[in-house]
Structure 1
Amino acid sequence: MSERWARRLLSLYGIAGSAAFPFIGPYVAYRASRGKEDRQRRRERYGVAGEARPNGPVIWVHAASVGETGAVIPLIERILDVGIRVVLTTGTVTSAKIVAERLGNQVIHQYVPLDLKPAVERFLDHWQPDLAIIAESEIWPTTILALGKRRVPQVLVNGRLSDRSFKSWQKRPHLAEALFENLAFVVAQSELDGERFRAVGARPVTVSGNLKLDTDPPPFDPRMHKRLASQINDRATWAAVSTHPGEEDIIGEVHTQLKSRHDDVLTIIVPRHPERGDAVAADLAKRGLSVARQSLNEPVRPDVDVLLGDTIGDMGLYLRLTEIAFMGRSMVAQGGQNPIEPAMLETAVLSGENIQNFRDTYTRLIDSGGARLVKDSDALATAVDYLLDNDGARHKMGAAAFATVEDMRGALDRTLRALDPFIHPLVVKARLEGGFT
């Protein structure tokens, strides 16, 4: 594909989006019916603002979902400290709740507009951002091109390109260049990510590390923790978190193997998508396993095999009930899940071998002895059995994971240094306009 055709294709993409815009309502309504959209705020997805634009400079920060939102909150807090207003967009109901809980009215939260020209243009017409900061790997062509046309600087922070995304962009180099040339700066998570962004045409690129490493450990409800810990008492526990379809079957098999050696073992399963709770519970029951569902406040009685963590925003709770965590999306699904949160809590980390999306973090953890990879259910059962039997090895592994995370911190300061040439002029502008607070 030539550069000319790449730009023509992007233009056609925008035209197609405009044509589809009048018919997108049923799709959004369907998502709302399944709890994936906020019914009361659906208009925001069409670019209709829910609040007035404040006076003075405004920075638009976008974080797709829960993980990205948590990662950028410390960055947003530092921006707020210099007196610049922030409009924060997210794409999920869960991430909106996290914004409300942790930032309250310090920022203006909006649901991100659909990547369709009428929605994006309406959003930009209203908010008129002076700077756009995009977290991780959200690449929306219409939005990027619209910001570029308006000459709004766009900075990608905590940038990551997975193996799959990188291969896809490599096949379309002119298309990639036509998009990435609109980015004023890319702040990548790792040297590998930095090399990949440069290879697809992004300039300039620097490496900061992972912003998630500079966040606090995941929060939890102390009262709920006390209640569950009392019910669990001194039972041996391990957790499989952020699991995907097919992995719960593996975890059920592993539990059965472990029970032959640890008759009181409790397995904690936390599906990546809690709305799968009904299906997961039914599958485990077919195996003859007794399940207590947290979403139903079912007690963890002595005969319960599995505590099913099918609730939103409680990862900190479940991780504090164990010292061993298997990370999902790594044995059946592809890419792995981020091991930072369990490592922050001095938890021994286990994972399948499909960890492409977090290769750099896992490499550091494995080298330090804080994480191990397992190839199948038998290897996972063996690893969990060993850690349950050996307190010293388990604690040493958890301590190594924690120390590794501590050593990897610093991404926030490096990201702020990269952003300073874009933010400092806005601070000056705010002072001159009398909007600095």
Structure 2
Amino acid sequence: MFPLFRVLWAAAGTLAAPGLRLMLWARARRGKEIAARLGERRGIAALPRPAGKLLWLHAASVGETVSLLPVLCELARQAPEISVLLTTGTVTSAELLAVRLPALGLAGRVTHGFVPLDVPAWVARFLDHWRPDAAAFVESELWPNLLAACTRRRIPLMLINARLSARSFARWRRWPWIARGLLGGFASIRARSAEDAARFAALGAPGVRAVGDLKFAAAELPADPAALAALRAAIGPRPVFLAASTHPGEEAIILAVHHRLTARHRDLLTILVPRHPARGGAIASLPGAAMAPRRSTGAGPPDLREGGLYIADTLGELGVFYRLASLAFIGGSLVPHGGQNPLEAARLGVALVIGPYHQNFAEAVVALAGAGAARTVRDGDELATVVGQWLDDPEARAAMAALGPAAAARFADLPAATAAALRGLVGRRR
């Protein structure tokens, strides 16, 4: 049954190619793709292949990319003879890597590219050029044509930080033969938790091990010292409430929370950092935002006469704002998105509050809440209550924040172990 599915999927990908070209151009007009690099999405490489052994790593977006950075550093230390091609699928991840790779001294060892869409001819063109000695995918990137092409070429495959939600597991169980076919090509699956490992094993995946979550082993988010010093001087002693990585629908809730809190805490500064910076203008036009200053326009935080709301619609500065905040709400959790990564804030000693929709980071939320480093809330009203309590009791807030770094430091040795496993994967290729 799986060979039939594979044939049908390949045919569907080929037939969809003209429409996918149009989709890519439409996405480029909306800023979702880089027009000058659209060829990469069709398997046309923009750079030459490095000489020697090449490991291909693929991370879908920003979160997966950030979790790979410590692994890349360990690979550079353990196996300097191996070059790395790191592909992603989003503009924001490419922009992040343009900053982070040079800062980590990896610019000469790691090449960034955009992953091709799952069209057989585009995948073949990509593999013909790069000829990877091994490939590893982060979390849950399972593209049938791409995996089949790698298997035909006998490229060893690994799934790292493997994730399979209960919902996805239930869906795959309806077609177990397809799941076994897709997962059977992996030499190893390194799951982020025992629950994920059990789900993969139940679907017939070989070589499954629960090794831990790379997001627990990430380094602290960076912060530009000059930008941090300038903002601290501008803000002064005002308390800062940070709403980090917010999604559509959450900003209106945060605005309501802000206006409720400022009735008692008139000097409060609320900083809104949208998950997608391009939404800054739309957020500034929301009722209650009063055209708040936006960092992307060069504006600094408002003083007390101008109000207490600041929209930080820039990329790669979340580390700056976590260092400014005394408490933070983690976005994507008051709307049915699944939440964003709370460990980045906990690592920097910030008191955390998280909404009910945090299933994408359930293990992290349980660990932080169990350690007393985070609180969960059901809605905006409860969010306002908790934040208000912390503003009234700075000592309790500071005590909670101090628990975060230790709770977020699990699996500190995982990047080194993952790098060693990847090095071994490259060694499988003959």
Q: What interval of TM-score do these two structures reach, taking the shorter chain for normalisation? A: over 0.9
Does 1:66 find its partner at 2:69? no
Report the residue type matching 1:56 in the other structure. G
Taking only aligned residues, the RMSD between alpha carbons, in angstroms, comes to 1.7
Deviates more, 1:105-114 or 1:239-248: 105-114
**Aligned runs of 1:7-86 on 2, under 5 Å?**
7-81=3-77, 82=79, 83-86=81-84
Task: Report the Cα offset of residue 141 of structure 1.
Answer: 1.4
Q: Is the 8 A contact 1:45 1:114 kept in 2?
A: yes
Residue number in structure 1 paired with 2:211: 208
Change (3 A) 1:334 1:33: closer
Residue number in structure 1 paired with 2:174: 171
Residue number in structure 2 paired with 1:260: 263
Return the TM-score normalized by structure 1: 0.92
Change (3 A) 1:41 1:407: closer
3-state SS of paired residue (1:104): coil
Q: Any gaps of 5 or more consecutive residues in structure 2?
A: none
Does 1:226 find its partner at 2:222? no
* CA offsets 1:206-232 (integer angstroms, 9 cap, x no match): 122121222221112222222222221
Q: Is the 8 A contact 2:32 2:91 kept in 1?
A: yes
Cα distance between partner residues in 2 of 1:241 and 1:305? 16
**Aligned runs of 1:12-411 on 2, under 5 Å?**
12-81=8-77, 82=79, 83-101=81-99, 102=101, 103-283=106-286, 286-287=287-288, 289=290, 291-300=292-301, 301-302=303-304, 303-411=306-414
Return the TM-score normalized by structure 2: 0.93
Q: Is the 8 A contact 1:62 1:90 kept in 2?
A: yes
Cα distance between partner residues in 2 of 1:204 and 1:148? 16
Change (3 A) 1:10 1:166: same
Q: How many residues align?
A: 421
Q: Is the 8 A contact 2:156 2:428 kept in 1?
A: no
Task: Report the Cα offset of residue 425 of structure 1.
Answer: 5.2
Deviates more, 1:241-250 or 1:326-335: 326-335
Task: Report the Cα offset of residue 10 of structure 1.
Answer: 2.6
Q: Is the 8 A contact 1:59 1:85 kept in 2?
A: yes
Task: Report the Cα offset of residue 32 of structure 1.
Answer: 1.4
* CA offsets 1:174-217 (integer angstroms, 9 cap, x no match): 21111111111111111111112112221111122121222221
Q: Is the 8 A contact 1:241 1:325 kept in 2?
A: yes
| Percent of residue pairs identical | 41
Report the residue type matching 1:104 in the other structure. A
Q: Any gaps of 5 or more consecutive residues in structure 1?
A: 430-437
Q: Is the 8 A contact 1:349 1:398 kept in 2?
A: yes
Change (3 A) 1:345 1:42: same
Cα distance between partner residues in 1 of 2:324 and 2:140? 32
3-state SS of paired residue (1:155): strand
* CA offsets 1:242-299 (integer angstroms, 9 cap, x no match): 111111111111111111110111111111111111111111xx22646121111223
